[in-house]
Amino acid sequence: MVDTRVTLSGLTLDNPVIPASGTFGYGYEFAELYDINILGSFSFKGTTREPRYGNPLPRIAECPAGMINSVGLQNPGIDAVISQELPRMREVFHKPVIANISGFSVEEYVECCAKIEKEDCVGLIEVNVSCPNVHNGGMSFGVSPESAALVTREVRRVTKKPIYIKLSPNVTDIVSIAAACEQAGADGISLINTLLGMRIDLRTRRPVIANKMGGFSGSAIFPVAVRMVYQVAEAVSVPVIGMGGVSSARDVIEMMLAGATAVQVGAANLVNPYACRDIINELPGVMESLGIHSLQEIIGGAH
């Protein structure tokens, strides 16, 4: 028997597979398709203080090995998430979840984290300073060590839950930003969010997406994600959650060898709603074929 368990800041997961924020809603939609309690956990939809409709349509552009999205943090706001979405989620998912929090000011991050701190079903908070799809928010806090550390320090003051800072790859030096977050009190780092991309319609000669640019995700970005996870894991002592183009059990193991303790699956859920279930089912067999008895033992094994 192989052991697929991993531990994130005291939170033990049955396996390292976590659907990424924005690709799994609040879980109950996928619970109609399969028992989502087989997941290690999941990161629910990015949440802001106020309700957001998101960006204008069209928001999606297809790519040969992925997709570009510019949804723009559409969500009902923190109060509605707590009062309406989480009770529905608890009915179908009985493990701790990851709360993904976004904001347009430090004060907004702090307010949302203080409110979600009180929810017992939330095992850890993923603070998103890396969204490329909104103007003057999200990624603007994640492009420098100083601003990312500021958000981390202020959020740290209002919650005792583990804080994982989600970083953008659209920076010159992601390692220095990760290190600054760790020094400011982060319990872990999540990376990478989407790369900034664009498509142009050849007939109209205009950008496909109304917002012109958006977040590029899918299997094409996997090598970039592996490289950045490897670099950050080498530089910090806190756990890393790796993501970016993961679509198979072998990808999960490769990401963990790069240094990830757990692995998020994003765009693959939008192509195949059973993606995470399939990866979890395949994982023990792939481990056995590679002579891996425990996933905990291979974390950072490529270093």
Q: Please confirm, yes or no, whether 131 is among the known catalytic residues.
A: yes
75: which strand partners?
52
Could you give phi then psi for residue 247, rounded to 5 degrees? -145, 5
Assess contact for 268 and 24: CB atoms under 8 A. no
Q: Which of the 8 DSSP states describes residue 93?
A: -
Q: Is 87 exposed, middle or buried, given 0-12, 13-18 or 19+ CB atoms closer than 10 A?
A: exposed
294: which strand partners?
3
Which residue is listed with tokens 């995700």?
217
Closest by CA to 43, choosing from 118, 125, 111, 161, is: 125
Assess contact for 78 and 112: CB atoms under 8 A. yes
Q: Hey, is 303 helix, strand or coil?
A: coil
Q: How many residues in the chain? A: 303
Q: Hey, is 262 helix, strand or coil?
A: strand
Could you give phi then psi for residue 121, rounded to 5 degrees? -75, -10
Closest by CA to 297, choosing from 267, 257, 270, is: 257
Could you give phi then psi for residue 180, rounded to 5 degrees? -65, -40
Angle at 291 between CA 286 and CA 293, to 5 degrees: 90
Residue of 63, 112, 121, 131 marked catalytic:
131
Instruction: List, by residue number, the catalytic residues.
Output: 131
